[in-house]
Amino acid sequence: MDLSEHDWQHLKSLLMKQKLELLQAGETGQQAEEIVELDQSRMGRLSRMDAMQTQAMSKETGRRRRQHLVEIDAALKRIDDGEYGPCSECGELISAGRLAANPAVRLCIDCAQALE
C-alpha cells in the first residue's frame, strides 16, 4: 500500500468528519440516556418498560459512540505521529481498501480475524 499525500489528507478529513458527526449525535443522545422515572401514577407498567428498554438501547449506543470517538482520536494521533497505516499487531501495512472503509481501523484483516 502506497498512499499519496492526497490519500492521507482524505483519510484524515474523513476521520474529522466522523468525529464531528459523533460529537453532534452525542449531544442529542444524552437526554435519551437519562434516568427513567418509575412513578406508577404518571405512566403505566408497559410504558415504563418501554422507556427503560429505550434508555438501555440509548446507553449502549452512547457507549459505542464514545468508543468510536476514542478509536478516531487514536487514528488521528497515529496520522500526526507518522505511524498511520501499519497494523498495530503485526506491523504489516493495512490495505487501502480497508482504511477507506474504516479510517480508524488499527488492524489488518488477518489480525482482526485472528482476534475474533
List pLDDT tens digits, range 23-41: 988 776 666 556 555 555 6
Is 107 inside any structural domain?
A: no
Could you tell me which residues come within 8 angstroms of residue 39 by beta carbon, excluding any fewer than 6 positions away? none
For residue 85, the one-letter residue type is G
Does residue 44 belong to any structural domain of this protein?
Answer: yes
**In this structure, which amino acid lies at residue 30?**
Q
Examine residue 21 and state whether it is found in any structural domain, yes or no: yes
Write out pLDDT tens, residues 38-76: 555 666 767 778 878 888 888 899 899 999 999 999 999
| 94 domain residue, yes or no | no
Residue 104 lies in a domain: no
Domain range for 17: 5-84
Cell of 112: 482482526
Is 92 among the domain residues? no
Q: Would the pTM count as exceeding 0.85?
A: no
How many domains does the structure of the chain reveal? 1
